[in-house]
A and B are shown apart, each in its own frame.
Chain A
Amino acid sequence: MQVTMPNELVWLIFLLPLASFIVISFITRLLGNPKFSGYLSIGAILASTCLAFWALFSVISSPHHELVIPGFKWLFIDGVIDIRLGIIMDSLTAIMLLVVTIVSLMVQIYSQGYMHNDPGYHRYYAFMSLFTASMLGLVLADNLLMMFFFWELVGLCSYLLIGFWFNRPAAANAAKKAFIITRIGDFGFLAAILLLFSQTGTLDIAQLHGLAVAGTLGGAALTWAAIGIFMGAAGKSAQFPLHVWLPDAMEGPTPVSALIHAATMVAAGIFLVARMYPLFEHSPEALLTVSIIGAVTAILSAGIALVMTDIKRVLAYSTISQLGYMMLGLGTGGVAVGIFHLFNHAFFKALLFLGAGSVNHATGTFDMRRMGGLKKIMPWTYATFLIASLSIIGIWPLAGFWSKDEILASALENQPVLFVLALITVFMTAFYMFRVVFLTFGGSYRGEGKPHESSAVMTLPMVVLAVLAIVTGLLNVSGWFGSFMGHGETHGFIEGFFGIFSHPLTWVSLIMAGAGVLLSYAIYSARWLSAERIGKLFSPVYSLLSRKYLLDELYERIIARKIFYEGLFSGLSFIDSHGIDGLVNGAAASINNAGRRARKTHSGQLQLYGIFIILGITLIILAMFIFG
């Protein structure tokens, strides 16, 4: 018996974490016991998760895979603007809700262990709730203005959480960097919103879709709007060249990284492109931009991941690389392809980060050179991390395989050049992921102290996510996910499960991944090859990669310091101090002078004043006689 979800409950999905944020901030924080805040936040997100499942099943069983939910009137000026506070509840939203709530739930349970005894415990859970709430709001929003609100809220929350340990300068700087870089992208998004509004007079997403499909909205305006939207998405989803904030965001607590990288912050950009997909679909240039940026991002950041020694940074660059895949998938294949990878990636990447956090909890470091041999000591962490790694590099039949294979297939079909980049990235991904596995868990322990397995409150969410990292890919084995998203047809499960091997592409990608693992094994586990010698052999490449293509230097030294600080801003400063200040100070000085002269007339002679009064009265009377 299927009961369709009442409309009010859909709102609750987003309102529950928001309420939890408010209650934690104003009530439980004052009660003192940190446990309350944690349980409250987890309880709220658990309820949201259940509602999200209900919403998903309601959407599946509803005709056209969409629940129609009437909105509220919000901003209304007759004939000019009519913005409603409403919800879109279609297949895309339902899937995203599920991703956000599940990952957030797991991360928050894990945080109970990870953030244990942290003095900012209340604040942590308050921000976590707000972060989740704003992402859920973003996913549910049915118009661009509302979406932009939540978009900015997500940015704000990531700022707050990356800079959670704000007394560490690195964390404070990383938070600022994340905020400022994403702001560059947001500028594009806002410009696109204004452009769309000036062209169409509406911000309602469904209406904009209709106009784009009907061709009313087209040509250059559509292309620029799509590119502006993509710019916003590139900032949030850390696409080249706006990706530089994401690796620095590692300064936040590890569970926050897991949440940012899997479900909330970076997923927002992919989701935005998917949500506005009809606009992209009708602008080949915009779609091509998305594909190219995606593929370039995927391969460039995979290159950096090869040489990083900090486990979280490897994972961060791996996220950027995978986000590039998603963009490539969106650009060449469509919503279902990109979002399917987002869906799978969310679980295994959250798991990888939680694994890294668990390792950090045991060893006290993120530097892989001081780890090793954790396989025996931390069996649960090792097992789950290995599953996630196999999933991310795309080993059959784990989740990552199915979505990555689809992206490769659609890239091959539409953009063969980009396909080659993506294929090389598969090899690189396999190499760096297994480099992490071998360095961290293989060999013998090189660090200090006695590491131990993390507590159950931390391993349990990892096990849940590991199960998801294995099975979520199966959703599209029969093509169900694709058809749910609105394109593709379904076929038999068994046929899809084994039939995938009849395509040569499957073999190619598996062989590439296998080769990457093998090379990694040869260097870091069996030590047939020396990492140092290879590093020396390719030393210019190595130093270019380890310095991240010098992009940070370019941004900070050249653009920020030279162009803006010394060039543009010093010019503006001159105009400000001489032009604008001069105007204001000049006006004040002239009035001052006039006053100095005028006060001479105040002689203190009362009789003189009297004469003037009489003269004035006489003049007024005369004037009345003459003109009145």
Chain B
Amino acid sequence: MSLEHYLVLSAVIFCIGLYGALSKRSAVVILMCIELMLNAANIALVAFSRYITPTLLTGQVFSIFSILVAAAEVTIGLAIIIAIYRRHETIDASKINLLKW
């Protein structure tokens, strides 16, 4: 298993996440896809840390920060989605176009 394998895995997961975030209707699914993208980045961070600077733990510590931020982001994101649902009775992203001219 070389670094490339991990990076390809990371890229694939990232692209799946991106595709989902841009194309899915449901806001919850979009949130999940964003989680995918973040975790793809985490995989890349850990892989770089492991293969390029094995003696330092910088990358791994950084990915723990990233996971922490992702957890916080999910909390707030879900809260927003619930608030939107209460007001509009929908979580279809194409119908939530409040930031319009």
Contacts and interface: CB of A to CB of B under 8 A. Distances in A.
Interface in A61-87: none
B93 to A, nearest CB: 6
Contacts of B23: 607
Contact of A607 (B94, B99, B100): B94
Given A610-B21, A611-B22, A614-B18, A605 B94 contact: yes
Interface stretch (A92-100, A564-572, A595-603): A595-603
Contact of A600 (B18, B21, B94, B101): B101
A610 B96 CA distance: 15
B101 A606 contact: no
B56 interface: no
Interface in A592-626: 599-600, 602-607, 610-611, 614
Contacts of B98: 604
A610 B97 CA distance: 14
Contacts of A605: 93-94, 97
A61 B94 CA distance: 102
A602 B99 contact: yes
Contacts of A610: 21-22
Interface residues of B, number: 13
A257 B93 CA distance: 85
A356 B21 CA distance: 98
A603 B94 CA distance: 10
Contacts, number: 30
Nearest to B21: A610
A604 B97 contact: yes
A578 to B, nearest CB: 34
Contacts of A606: 93, 96, 99
A157 B34 CA distance: 77
A611 B94 CA distance: 14
Given A605-B94, A606-B93, A607-B94, A614 B101 contact: no
B97 A607 contact: no
Q: Say whether chain A's binding surface is mostly helix, strand, loop, or mixed.
A: helix
A603 B100 CA distance: 5
B42 to A, nearest CB: 20
Contact of A602 (B21, B94, B96, B100): B100
B38 to A, nearest CB: 15
Contacts of B94: 605, 607
Nearest to A601: B101
Nearest to A611: B22
A300 B61 CA distance: 103
A614 B14 CA distance: 13
Contacts of A599: 101
A607 B96 CA distance: 11
Contacts of A600: 101
Contacts of B96: 604, 606
Nearest to B23: A607
A46 B37 CA distance: 92
B100 A604 contact: yes
Contacts of A602: 99-101
Nearest to A606: B93
B85 to A, nearest CB: 16
Contacts of B100: 602-604
B11 to A, nearest CB: 13
Contact of B93 (A603, A607, A611, A614): A607
B97 A614 contact: no
Contacts of B97: 603-605
Nearest to A600: B101
Interface in B16-51: 18, 21-23, 30
Give 10 nearest A-B pairs by CB, closest first: A604-B97, A604-B100, A599-B101, A602-B101, A604-B99, A607-B22, A610-B22, A611-B22, A605-B97, A607-B93
14 contacts: A600-B101, A602-B99, A602-B101, A604-B99, A604-B101, A605-B93, A605-B97, A606-B96, A607-B22, A607-B93, A607-B94, A610-B21, A610-B22, A614-B22
